[in-house]
Amino acid sequence: MSWLQEPYLGFDLETTGVDRYNDLPVSFAFVVGKGDHIERRLYKIVNPGIPISEKAMEIHGITEERAKKEGISIEEALGTIENTLLWASKQNIPLMGMNVSFDLTMVNEMLKKQDSSLIAKGWRGPIIDALELDHWQDKYRKGKRTLTDLCTLYGVSFDNAHNALADVEASIMVIKKIAQKYPIVQQKTITELMKIQRNIHKERVDRLRTYYATNNRGVIALGESEWPLPEKNLSVFGF
């Protein structure tokens, strides 16, 4: 039986900004499902306790006032997120989403501030990521690959972008559409997909690093080639 018919956990964060190493969640969503059926949804607004950037507020619509009024504490949010991720990992239930590495890295950095990490807690994946699958099957397609772009490409209705719950449900649908369009995706085992996604990510980042270096665009740290949890302090100079 293909993993498409098996249980999954969808996950997404909206955040105070785009720095996954230092910013924090302002909302999160989980979707528990199996096959074509969604069994449970969880959505929470979070009070991050730090400023939310103007650009981030414009994108997801959660103001600092709303976060303070409606949000749960960052400590409660981290506890719920951590426990849910570990629950799925222990049962080998794949985590689905769009560019999940961003969200997981933010959670991991939060845990590091408590002298822990996802790996130390026992998390091992697996992950099925819409972005990595799309890069695998259509590597050289030009243009942006945001969730909105992938929804348009794969024919997924998407009316409430940058709402964590809407984003995670759209990501799951994109994954299913990719698997339906490219049968090899659903024929692979979860273990095989993890290896493929890791290699695809590394190849893409390494290629981008070479381009940046050749065109004097800056430096991409070696740690960024790691997936799904990059090491921010591993630079090309080994510092």
In this prediction, residue 222 carries a pLDDT of 85
Has residue 98 been placed in a domain? yes
* Structural domain boundaries, residue 156: 3-225
The answer to whether 179 and 186 have CB atoms below 8 angstroms apart is: yes
Has residue 115 been placed in a domain? yes
When pLDDT is averaged across residues 36-54 and rounded to a whole number, the result is 95
Rounded to two decimals, the pTM is 0.92
Has residue 145 been placed in a domain? yes
pLDDT in tens, 3-42: 999 999 999 999 999 999 999 999 999 999 998 899 999 9
Has residue 81 been placed in a domain? yes
When pLDDT is averaged across residues 93-103 and rounded to a whole number, the result is 97
CATH code, domain with 147: 3.30.420.10
pLDDT in tens, 130-139: 999 999 999 9
Has residue 65 been placed in a domain? yes
Q: What 3-state DSSP class applies to 23?
A: coil
Has residue 174 been placed in a domain? yes
Cβ-Cβ contacts under 8 Å for 234 (sequence gap 6 or more)? 221, 222, 223, 226
Measured CA to CA, the distance from residue 14 to residue 28 in angstroms comes to: 6
Has residue 236 been placed in a domain? no
Q: Is 190 exposed, middle or buried (0-12, 13-18, 19+ CB in 10 A)?
A: middle
Q: Is 118 exposed, middle or buried (0-12, 13-18, 19+ CB in 10 A)?
A: buried
The closest alpha carbon to 136, from 180, 199, 200, belongs to 200
Structural domains counted in the chain:
1
